[in-house]
Amino acid sequence: MPPPILAILLAAATAALADEATAPDYQERVAPILKKYCAGCHNDDDLEGEFSVDGYASIQRGTEHGPAFLPGDPRGSLMLRLMTGAARPAMPPKDEPKPTAEEIATIEAWIASGARGPDGAEPSRLALIVPEIPSRGAVRPIVAMDASRDGRWTAVARDTAVTLYEGVGESAIGGERPGRAIGEYPGKVTAVHFTPDGKRLVTASGVAGTGGVAAIWNVADGALIRSFEGHRDLLYDAELSPDGTRLATCGYDKVVEIRDAAAGTLLRTLEGHTGAVYDVAFSPDGRFLVSASADDTCKVWRVEDGLRMDTLPQPLKAESCCLFSPDGRSIVAAGADSNIRVWRFVSREKPEINPMVLARFAHEGAIVRLGFSPDGSTLVSLAEDRTIKAWRAGDYTEIQAWGDQPDVATALAFSADGSTFTVGRMDGSTATYALPASRSDVAVAAAPRPRPEAVAPQEAAPVFEAAEREPDDHPDRASPIQLPARVTGVITAAEGAGVDADLYRFPARAGEEWVFEVDAARSGSKLDSFLEVLDGQGRRVPRVVLQAVRDSYFTFRGKNGTEIADFRVFNWEEMAIDDYLYANGEVVKLWLFPRGPDSGFFVYPGRGDRWGFFDTTPLAHALNEPCYVVEPHPPGTKLLQNGLPVFTLHFENDDDARRELGKDSRLNFTAPADGEYLLKIRDVRGLQGPEFRYTLTARPRRPDFTVALEGANPTVSPGIGREFKVSAHRLDDFEGPIRVDFEGVPPGFQIASPLVIEAGQLDAFGVVFAEPGAAQPTEEASKGIKVTATARIGDREIVHEVGSLGAIKLGPAPKLKVAIVPDEAAAKPAADSPDAPAEFVVEAGRTIALKVVVERADFPGQVPFGNEGAGRNLPFGTFVDDLGLNGLLVLEGRADRTFFVTAHRGTPEQVRPFHLTTAAAGGVSSRPVRLRVVRPAAETVADAKARTRRTGEASETPSGPRDADRSKPD
């Protein structure tokens, strides 16, 4: 070969070797650039443009438009042209970070040198190509912890390591015997769980933005049994099913994966969350899985086929932890909104709503961990406010709190016998605490506390008559009186003497109940009275302590001092009928749920002007004004603080809370102890003068009632009904049920008897129904109906006559008939015969479907049945559900309409007639059917507690059921 040619070849070979030696390494220099700028959209799971940079093989497959690169030709390579903007659309997209000039030069040099891939097998995508920077901090946060059920081992996760310690508790972790490291992990370890037999340990770990790894380890020798690599981001949890056959994992990539624990194969991917999934938990039988997510929800899944059984939407912020109760009847979850929520688990056979039974404001910071004690009797919660709390699992009442932790406790483990629990903190420290037994001295507003009967004052005592004697504006100068009494006076003072107030001193025994009433404005006086009872030294007397359990505020618009409807408040879904709502000193009681997003609560009494409770006076409330759901406790009750306010109400009143005396005051007083008390009256505005006269009456509380009937003298056509109403006027806070009986109904006509005005309610609705073959009744028969009202007050049965139903007349053939019948797709009635009304059964907390059928003779138009009052005489807390703006409506020309009846979870067992009424065709009512409400078959203690919170007395008794029923599953 000629020397010149040989020289040229040698020079070319030398240049090629030099280029190869200086070519950028794919794994060390190219892959990190592509991962940094491209992998977010172009990966194996998200193939935008049918292109992925997840590995060299993926890049070689190219894009939907052809090869991504041409080895040796950087200017002709699509990938580089898009990165430099020479081709459209420029990549990365607008507003996304762009590679630097140096990084683009690296890609160009790599392609120019032949675009070589990695030598040998491509490294795991979990391997981070970053400089290794040793940690300088001595603190190693504890992020997860678990103890084996036999008490032999404790596993503690710190950073990228897991350590096994012999024994349980702080002494084992921090003792003289060193722990044993188990396993190696690609990144941060986020969860550790022992299997029930304590022989295996499940771990979750991963690398943020890259992927996750779950692993099962042999505890005895630390050997890896199997690893499970998956997900597109860091894993947050990995759980084995109770039988050990399934492994569930979740992570930042918003999905849950279920794998065969033995084979490692992916069985199904559960998608539906729109945020990171932080926690998963199996049901005790392993058939179901619950997941907690940053999307502010928990979801319930069926493990067998991955079917979503329900979405639990009530949380207001991200949920960080979830679990089933040990008995499998409830789901418990908590998170960033500081609430512990409990749902009754019912969606076992088909997707349906799991009703929420409790939402407890638990901490002042985000809750990061929950755990049940081994026997299931106690729940422990850890939170970012550096507190730890223990809750009685039966009703989720706080029983002990440990505050002022040196750092946030993030990990939790129980001893085998459940007597202690150990926490690990972010500062690397641990602590062991004794688990408290259930305490009886803890305030539980949910426990029923019936109002006792009054201690009888002096029987037939004469009324003490007196007139005010000045000066009496100081406790030392109070005028003595004996109760019962009637005194007269005037709020005025000599010039320069200050604002006047009159005080009267009286003795009372513990438990005596007195009613003080002022007659001033009603008689033309200028006095706007304010009445209060003080102790013998002139100090205010506490009446009730209200502990806030939920905070809220008024939305949409404010309220005036009389409105009862459209109380729109933030987070109303977690409130319930019979809840007390406190706002700026006024206490109201929720009466009817909102009927949709464009409506609000009705408050008691459900009609007329708004009532105040505990003798508070209704006030105007501004938009965005704070309000609180509160639970009442007797003064002196030992309350465990929950971070929300506590309000003390005293024996005082401005305007009569029941709105019967106008601006005049009425105050109900129960003497808390034997002794002397002061009754003080003044003008609420601080005004005075000779025209400010009053008469003050003090009398014993004598609960009673009267009943009036509306809808007398009905004309009823054959085959239809006419509605009537019986209304109670309750006296001196009598709140018990009232039975209304009808006797002597003429032949051919029917009245469901008795009707019951439920405890605390004012109305009941009935129907006079004429049978199709009914004859015109005689005048004597039509007027012979006897109506009586009966109630038990204390140990006495009180009977009052009610106004007559008048004369019943038979009308002409009706233009329209209405009937309630079973829905074909729903359950059949429990009882249905021609001689008795059909009976339908609904479980408290559930919904049933019924159908209304109209028979048109000469009425083609629409048949409306109303909105919130569509179901007439339904049990309190039971309502016609899923109504739109038009309410329950049968459209023109239609013959039927399916409707839904939901029974609130706190509705007591009962059988009650109900019907539908329309104003169409002159007013038509259906023949009543019977609704039987039954309790859930698997009622938890919390369920029963909520149910029994509805008592027969509305004054100073605990509030009603805790629930936020929904009408549709997600």
What would the pLDDT profile of 203-226 be if each residue is shown by its tens digit? Answer: 999 988 888 999 999 999 999 999
Burial 862-899 (b: 16+ CB within 10 A, else e): ebebbbbbbbbbbbbbbbbbebeeeebbbeeeeeebeb
Please report the pLDDT score of residue 487 as a whole number: 97
Q: Per-residue pLDDT for 232 more than 90?
A: no
Q: Tell me the pairing of strands 479-480 and 485-490.
A: unpaired
Confidence of residue 969 (pLDDT cuts 50, 70, 90): very low
Q: What is the mean pLDDT of residues 869-894?
A: 92
CA distance 406 to 426: 9
Q: Is the pLDDT of residue 708 over 50?
A: yes
Mean pLDDT across 470-475: 91
Amino acid at the residue 240: L
Sheet holding 502-508, edge to edge: 479-480, 502-508, 675-683, 529-535, 652-653
Quote the pLDDT of residue 272. 95
Q: Which amino acid is at 256?
A: V
**pLDDT tens digit string along 537-552?**
999 999 999 999 999 9
Q: Are 790 and 798 within 8 A, CB to CB?
A: yes
pLDDT at 512: 96
Better-predicted residue by pLDDT, 22 or 921 = 921
pLDDT digits (tens, 9 = 90+) for 408-419: 999 999 999 999
585: pLDDT strictly greater than 80: yes
- Whether residue 365 contacts residue 379, with contact meaning beta carbons closer than 8 Å, is answered with no
Element (H, E) at 904: none
> What average pLDDT does range 882-901 have in this prediction?
91
pLDDT at 415: 95
Q: What is the DSSP letter of 559?
A: B
Whether pLDDT at 610 is above 70:
yes
Query: Could you report the per-residue pLDDT of 434-455, keeping only the tens digit for each?
Result: 998 765 555 544 433 444 444 4
Q: Which of 375-384, 710-719, 793-802, 824-833 has the lowest mean pLDDT?
A: 824-833
Nearest to 679 by CA among 537, 533, 516: 533
Per-residue pLDDT band for 296 (boundaries 50, 70, 90) equals very high
Q: Does pLDDT of 116 surpass 80?
A: yes
Q: Which helix (H) or strand (E) holds 631?
A: strand 626-633
Contact 771, 755 (CB under 8 A): no
Q: Considering only CA atoms, which of 760, 679, 815 is closest in space to residue 961?
A: 760
Tokens read off for 233 = 């981001």
Lowest pLDDT segment from 221-225, 445-449, 694-698, 712-716? 445-449
What CATH number labels 272-421? 2.130.10.10
Reduced 3-state DSSP string for 791-845: EEECCEEEEEECCCCCCCEECCCCCEEEEEEECCCCCCCCEEECCEEEEEEEECC
Distance CA 485, CA 475 (A): 19
The superfamily in CATH containing domain 704-810 is Immunoglobulins (2.60.40.10)
**The pLDDT value given to residue 71:** 87
Collapsing DSSP to helix, strand or coil, 590 comes out as strand
Q: What is the mean pLDDT of residues 63-74?
A: 84
* Mean pLDDT of the region 936-950: 52
Cβ atoms of residues 347 and 309 within 8 Å: yes
Q: Which residues are CB-neighbours of 176 under 8 A, at least 6 positions away?
A: none
Q: Which two tokens stand for residue 966?
A: 């929904």
CA–CA gap between residue 878 and residue 844 (Å, rounded) = 9
Mean per-residue pLDDT, 734-757: 95
The CATH number given to 463-541+651-701 is 2.60.120.380
- Per-residue pLDDT averaged across 753-778, rounded? 95
Is 0.85 topped by the overall pTM? no
* pLDDT band per the 50, 70, 90 thresholds, residue 958: very low
Query: For residues 356 and 312, is the Cβ–Cβ distance under 8 A?
Result: yes
Q: What is the mean pLDDT of the chain?
A: 88
Q: Which residues contact 301 (CB under 8 A, 6 or more apart)?
A: 256, 270, 288, 289, 290, 291, 307, 308, 309
Q: What is the pLDDT of residues 187-198, one digit of tens each?
A: 899 999 999 999
| pLDDT given for residue 537 in this prediction | 96
pLDDT at residue 946 tops 60 = no
- At 497 the pLDDT is 77
Q: Render pLDDT for 773-822 as a digit per residue (tens, 0 to 9).
A: 899 998 888 888 999 999 999 999 999 999 889 999 999 999 999 999 99
Q: Residue 87: its pLDDT value, please?
A: 84
The reported pLDDT for the residue numbered 216 is 97
Statement: residue 961 has pLDDT above 70: no
- Percent residues over pLDDT 70 in the chain: 90
Task: State the CATH class of domain 816-948.
Answer: mainly beta
Burial of 210 (0-12, 13-18, 19+ CB in 10 A): buried
In the chain, what percentage of residues exceed pLDDT 90? 69
Asked whether the predicted pLDDT for residue 458 surpasses 60, the reply is no
The two tokens of residue 687 are: 């005004």
Mean pLDDT of the 155-175 span: 91
Residue 406 burial class via C-beta count within 10 angstroms: exposed 0-12, middle 13-18, buried 19 and up:
exposed
- Residue 667 clears pLDDT 50, i.e. is over it: yes
What confidence score (pLDDT) does residue 951 get? 35
| Higher-confidence position of 89 and 4 | 89
Whole-angstrom distance, CA of residue 340 vs CA of residue 220:
37
- Looking at residues 107-133, what average pLDDT do you find? 74
| Residue type at position 905 | R
Please report which confidence band the pLDDT of residue 936 belongs to, taking 50, 70 and 90 as the band edges: confident
How confident is the model over 501-560, as pLDDT tens digits?
999 999 999 999 999 999 999 999 999 999 999 999 999 999 999 999 999 999 999 999
> Radius of gyration of the chain from Cα atoms?
37
Quick one: which of 967, 968, 845, 847 has its CA closest to 907? Answer: 845
Mean pLDDT of 284-299: 97
Has residue 175 got a pLDDT over 80?
A: no
Q: Scan for tokens 């040196």, then name that residue.
A: 406
**Given the structure tokens 């919904």, which residue do they identify?**
847
pLDDT of residue 22: 72
The residues near 388 (Cβ < 8 Å, ≥ 6 apart) are: 380, 381, 382, 401, 402, 405, 409, 423, 433
Among 781-785, 939-943, 965-969, the range scoring the smallest mean pLDDT is 965-969
Q: What is the pLDDT of residues 374-405, one digit of tens each?
A: 999 999 999 999 999 999 998 899 999 999 99
